[in-house]
Chain A
C-alpha cells in the first residue's frame, strides 16, 4: 500500500483465534497459581501483546510494548506507598470508629471511602500507562498528565449520579470519557471527544425502564403484594439487556464523535450480537467453571439424601466419604477452588473477552486516513510505577 493509493477509509481486521489464546491463558493462569500470584504480571503482558497484535486497523497490527518487569517494579513501588496507608490508616479508622461509635462496620466503610479518590487516580494512571505502551504503525499513543483532575471530576460526577439515583449516569460517562479522550494523543495528533452528554440519554432508556420495573416489583413485594413477583421475570432481564444496550451504544456514539484533526472514527457494533456474546459466553464459562465441584456436590447430595430417607444403600458407604480426614477435605476444597478460578479465567477470555474485542474491532473504521500523513512520533513516557497502584487496588481492566 502506498500513499497515493490511500483509500478514504481504513477497515479493521481481527487476526486472533481461540486456540492460541486458550493455550496462553491456561499456561499463564497455572503459573500464576503456582507462583502465588506473581506470574500475573507476565500473564497480563503476554495477553495484551496478543490482543493488541490481533487488532489490525488498515491491516497493520497494534503493538503492546509493556514489560512484565516494569509492572513488577510498579507493584513494588505501590506496595511501599500503599502498605503504609492501608495498614496505619485502617488501624486508626478502626480505633476511631470503635471509640466513637462502638462499631467496626463504620471503620470499614470509612476506610473504603478513603480509598475511592486513590482508586480513580489509579485508574487514570493505569490508562496512561497502557496508552503509553501502545503503538500503531510504530507511533506511540499517550495520555497527558491529569490523574488528580480526573479523580476529583470522577468524584463529583459520581456524587451527581448518586444524588439523581443513577438517572444522570450518561452525563458521568460522557464527561469522564471526554476528559480522558481530550488528553489522549497519537503521536503528534491530539484526540478530541465531540458531542454532548444528552446524546447518550436515548441509549439509557432501557436501563431506566428496567430499573423502574424492578423498583415497582420490589415496592409491591415489600408491601406484601406477592402476586406481582412475576414482574421480576420481566424486570430482571430487561435491566440486564438495558445495561448491555447502553454499554454498546455509549461506546459506539462516543467513538463516532472522536476525532483527531480530520481523522475520524466510525464504530458500528451490533447490539444483539454483543448481547449474544455476553449471555452465551458467560453461560458457557460458568457451566464449565462449575464442573470441578459437580462430583463433590453430587456425592455429598446423594449421601445426604440417603440419610434423610433413612434408607441404607449398601453401594454407598458413608464412612468412605465422611470418614475422610479433614486434611483431605481441605485439600479437595482448595483444588476445586483453584480449578474453578482457573477455568473461569481462561474460558472467559475465549468465550467473552476475545469475541467482544473481535466484534468491536471488526466494526471499527478510520475515516480520512490521508490525515495520518501529518502524524509523527512522540517521546517515550517513562513510567516508574507502571500500573502499580491500579494493580494493588484490584483495578483490572478488560484484560
Chain B
C-alpha cells in the first residue's frame, strides 16, 4: 500500500559531496487518531535522525531513540520512540528496514515500565504471605481445629486418607494396595493391641491394618488408624518390637498428630497449587509439595509419642527397650536405602531415642511375653 520512492541517491562519497540522503516511505500513526498517514521520511544522517514529513510539519525521530516492536508476525517493521507510548511508524519495504537497522543501534532495546523495586517488593510480599500461611497460620489453625474435630469427622478424614495412601502406593496405580488378613495373623495382632490398650482410655477404638508392601514403616492416620507395612512385621526380631512401634503410633493417635497433618495439608495444597499455576497440570509439583508437607511430625511430637509409648509399654508389662533393639538392628544391617520408616529412622536424633528407650526401662523389671512362638509365626506370615 505504501509506494517507496527513492528521490535522491548520491553517488560514491567524495569530499565535496553532501551527506548521503535517502528518502523512504512509511505509514505514520500519530497516536491520537485512527488514521494512518502515508508519509515520506528522510534519513538525516548528519543529524542522526529520521525526518518525517507529516501534514506540513517535520517530525524528528533521533536514531538513538528508535525502538522496533518485538515478536511481530510477517516482516513489517514497526518503530516507536523510546519515550513515546503511542506514535508508530510502519515500514513495509526490506530496503528501508535494512537502512534503519544499520542506523538505529538501540532498535532492539526493551525497557519495561514496571519498576524493579516494586516488583521485588511484591515478590517478597507474595513469598512472605505464602510462607506465613503455610508455616504459621495453617499449622496454628490446624492444631486448634484438630482439638475440636468430632470423632466421626476424624474417622471420615482417616478413611479418605487411608484410601488415598493405598491407591498411591499401588504399583499399577489403578487399584489399591492389598490389606493382609490371614486369620491367625490378625488374631495375633489383635492380641498385641488388646495387651497395649487394656489399661488405656481411648476416645475412639483403633482400626489396625497391615498393608502388603515391602517398606519398613508404620504410620497413624486420623480416626484411630494404625497401619503397618508388611516390611516392618517381617523385619522385626520379636513381637515386643512390633508392640513397641505399635505403642509409638498409638501415641500419635492419642495426641491427634495425624489429624493436624491432614488438616494442614488441606490448607497448604491449594496455596501451593496457586503458586505454580497451570504449569504441567500442576500434578507433579503438587505431589512433591504434598510429600514435603507430610514428611514429618515435629521433633516434639515424636518425643511425646516416644514418652507415651514407654509408659504404655511398662503399663502392659512390655519392655520399652524393644524399640531401641529394633532401631539398632535396622541401622546395623545398613537398611537405610530400603526406605525405612520415614518418621522414625530418618530422624537425626535416633541415637538419643534409642538411649531414651533404654533409660525408660527400670533396672531389673520383669516382663511377660506378648505372643507365643506360634502366634509370632502367624503374625509374620499375615500376608501369606
Q: Is B71 a contact partner of A80 (Cβ separation < 8 A)?
A: no
Does residue A391 face the partner (Cβ distance < 8 Å to B)?
yes
Does residue A173 face the partner (Cβ distance < 8 Å to B)?
no
Task: State how many angstroms separate the Cβ of A320 from the closest Cβ of chain B.
Answer: 18
CA distance A16 to B285 in the complex (A): 35
Q: Is B73 a contact partner of A87 (Cβ separation < 8 A)?
A: no
Instruction: Find the B residue at minimum CB distance from A386.
Output: B114
Does residue B18 face the partner (Cβ distance < 8 Å to A)?
no
Does residue A59 face the partner (Cβ distance < 8 Å to B)?
yes
A65 partner residues in chain B, CB cutoff 8 A:
85
CA distance A83 to B138 in the complex (A): 11
Task: State how many angstroms separate the Cβ of A17 from the closest Cβ of chain B.
Answer: 8
B277 partner residues in chain A, CB cutoff 8 A:
37, 40, 75, 391-392, 394
Q: Is A33 a contact partner of B73 (Cβ separation < 8 A)?
A: no
For B6-39 the 0/1 string (1 means CB < 8 A from A) is: 0000000000000000000001011111111110
CA distance A139 to B35 in the complex (A): 9
For A84-115 the 0/1 string (1 means CB < 8 A from B) is: 10111011101100110011100100010000
Q: Which of A50, A139, A391 has its CB near the most chain B CB atoms (within 10 A)? A: A139
CA distance A334 to B284 in the complex (A): 8
Q: A72-B119, A98-B153 are in contact. Are A394 and B278 (CB under 8 A)?
A: yes
Instruction: Find the A residue at minimum CB distance from B153.
Output: A98
Q: A40-B277, A73-B118, A84-B129 are in contact. Are A136 and B149 (CB under 8 A)?
A: no
CA distance A3 to B150 in the complex (A): 77
A92 partner residues in chain B, CB cutoff 8 A:
141, 145
Task: State how many angstroms separate the Cβ of B270 from the closest Cβ of chain A.
Answer: 4
Q: Is A60 a contact partner of B90 (Cβ separation < 8 A)?
A: yes
Contact with A54, one of B1, B34, B73, B134 (Cβ below 8 angstroms):
B73
Q: A50-B73, A72-B119, A102-B156 are in contact. Are A83 and B114 (CB under 8 A)?
A: no
B122 partner residues in chain A, CB cutoff 8 A:
73, 76-77, 80
Q: Is A36 a contact partner of B73 (Cβ separation < 8 A)?
A: no
Q: Is B156 a contact partner of A80 (Cβ separation < 8 A)?
A: no
B87 partner residues in chain A, CB cutoff 8 A:
138
CA distance A87 to B276 in the complex (A): 15
B73 partner residues in chain A, CB cutoff 8 A:
15-17, 20-21, 50-51, 53-54, 61
**Of residues 245 to 277 in B, which have CB atoms within 8 Å of A's CB atoms?**
263, 266-268, 270-271, 274-277
Q: Is B69 a contact partner of A53 (Cβ separation < 8 A)?
A: yes
Q: A51-B73, A83-B133, A137-B36 are in contact. Are A91 and B141 (CB under 8 A)?
A: yes
Q: Is A69 a contact partner of B138 (Cβ separation < 8 A)?
A: no
CA distance A28 to B114 in the complex (A): 21
Q: Is A87 a contact partner of B31 (Cβ separation < 8 A)?
A: no
A187 partner residues in chain B, CB cutoff 8 A:
34
Q: Is B86 a contact partner of A377 (Cβ separation < 8 A)?
A: yes
For A18-62 the 0/1 string (1 means CB < 8 A from B) is: 001100100000001100110010000111011101100001110
CA distance A103 to B279 in the complex (A): 30
CA distance A180 to B51 in the complex (A): 42
Q: Is B76 a contact partner of A15 (Cβ separation < 8 A)?
A: yes
A15 partner residues in chain B, CB cutoff 8 A:
73-74, 76
Q: Is A341 a contact partner of B280 (Cβ separation < 8 A)?
A: yes
Task: State how many angstroms separate the Cβ of A363 from the closest Cβ of chain B.
Answer: 18
Chain B's interface size range is: 35 or more
CA distance A94 to B27 in the complex (A): 61
Q: Is B78 a contact partner of A86 (Cβ separation < 8 A)?
A: no
Q: Is B76 a contact partner of A104 (Cβ separation < 8 A)?
A: no
Q: Is A139 a contact partner of B142 (Cβ separation < 8 A)?
A: no
Does residue A82 face the partner (Cβ distance < 8 Å to B)?
yes
B37 partner residues in chain A, CB cutoff 8 A:
2
For B45-78 the 0/1 string (1 means CB < 8 A from A) is: 0000000000000000000000001111110101
CA distance A348 to B329 in the complex (A): 56
CA distance A245 to B281 in the complex (A): 29
Q: Is A79 a contact partner of B129 (Cβ separation < 8 A)?
A: yes
Does residue A268 face the partner (Cβ distance < 8 Å to B)?
no
Contact with A84, one of B36, B113, B133 (Cβ below 8 angstroms):
B133
CA distance A94 to B266 in the complex (A): 7
B29 partner residues in chain A, CB cutoff 8 A:
60, 137-138
Does residue A338 face the partner (Cβ distance < 8 Å to B)?
yes
Does residue A373 face the partner (Cβ distance < 8 Å to B)?
yes
B74 partner residues in chain A, CB cutoff 8 A:
15-16, 53-54, 61
Contact with A76, one of B76, B78, B125 (Cβ below 8 angstroms):
B125
Contact with B126, one of A54, A79, A86, A138 (Cβ below 8 angstroms):
A79
CA distance A9 to B138 in the complex (A): 60
Q: Is B274 a contact partner of A79 (Cβ separation < 8 A)?
A: yes
Instruction: Find the A residue at minimum CB distance from B269.
Output: A90
CA distance A86 to B138 in the complex (A): 11
Contact with B271, one of A2, A33, A86 (Cβ below 8 angstroms):
A86
CA distance A222 to B33 in the complex (A): 64
Does residue B152 face the partner (Cβ distance < 8 Å to A)?
yes
**Of residues 83 to 132 in B, which have CB atoms within 8 Å of A's CB atoms?**
85-88, 90, 112-114, 118-119, 122-123, 125-126, 129-130
Does residue B157 face the partner (Cβ distance < 8 Å to A)?
yes
A40 partner residues in chain B, CB cutoff 8 A:
277-279
For B221-264 the 0/1 string (1 means CB < 8 A from A) is: 00000000000000000000000000000000000000000010
Q: Is B112 a contact partner of A68 (Cβ separation < 8 A)?
A: yes
Does residue A156 face the partner (Cβ distance < 8 Å to B)?
no
Does residue A225 face the partner (Cβ distance < 8 Å to B)?
no
Q: Is A83 a contact partner of B69 (Cβ separation < 8 A)?
A: no
Task: State how many angstroms separate the Cβ of B263 from the closest Cβ of chain A.
Answer: 6
For A241-255 the 0/1 string (1 means CB < 8 A from B) is: 000000000000000
Q: Is B31 a contact partner of A32 (Cβ separation < 8 A)?
A: no
A75 partner residues in chain B, CB cutoff 8 A:
126, 277
Q: Which of B157, B277, B281 has its CB near the most chain A CB atoms (within 10 A)? A: B277
CA distance A318 to B85 in the complex (A): 65
Does residue A220 face the partner (Cβ distance < 8 Å to B)?
no
Task: State how many angstroms separate the Cβ of A325 from the closest Cβ of chain B.
Answer: 11
Does residue A219 face the partner (Cβ distance < 8 Å to B)?
no
Does residue A362 face the partner (Cβ distance < 8 Å to B)?
no
Q: Is B36 a contact partner of A1 (Cβ separation < 8 A)?
A: yes
Contact with A60, one of B36, B137, B150, B153 (Cβ below 8 angstroms):
B36
Q: Is B160 a contact partner of A104 (Cβ separation < 8 A)?
A: yes
Contact with A49, one of B72, B118, B123, B126 (Cβ below 8 angstroms):
B72
CA distance A95 to B85 in the complex (A): 52
Q: Interface on A for B, CB 8 Å cutoff?
A: 1-3, 15-17, 20-21, 24, 32-33, 36-37, 40, 45-47, 49-51, 53-54, 59-61, 63, 65, 67-70, 72-73, 75-77, 79-80, 82-84, 86-88, 90-92, 94-95, 98-99, 102-104, 107, 111, 135-140, 186-187, 334, 337-338, 341, 372-373, 375-377, 380, 391-392, 394, 396
What would 5 more interface pairs be, CB under 8 Å, given A1-B38, A60-B36, A95-B148? A49-B69, A49-B71, A61-B76, A94-B266, A137-B36
Q: Please, could you name 7 A-B residue pairs with CB atoms under 8 Å apart, sorted by A?
A: A79-B129, A87-B133, A88-B137, A99-B149, A138-B29, A138-B87, A377-B31
Q: Which 7 A-B pairs have the closest CB atoms?
A: A37-B279, A15-B74, A138-B29, A98-B153, A54-B73, A91-B267, A49-B71
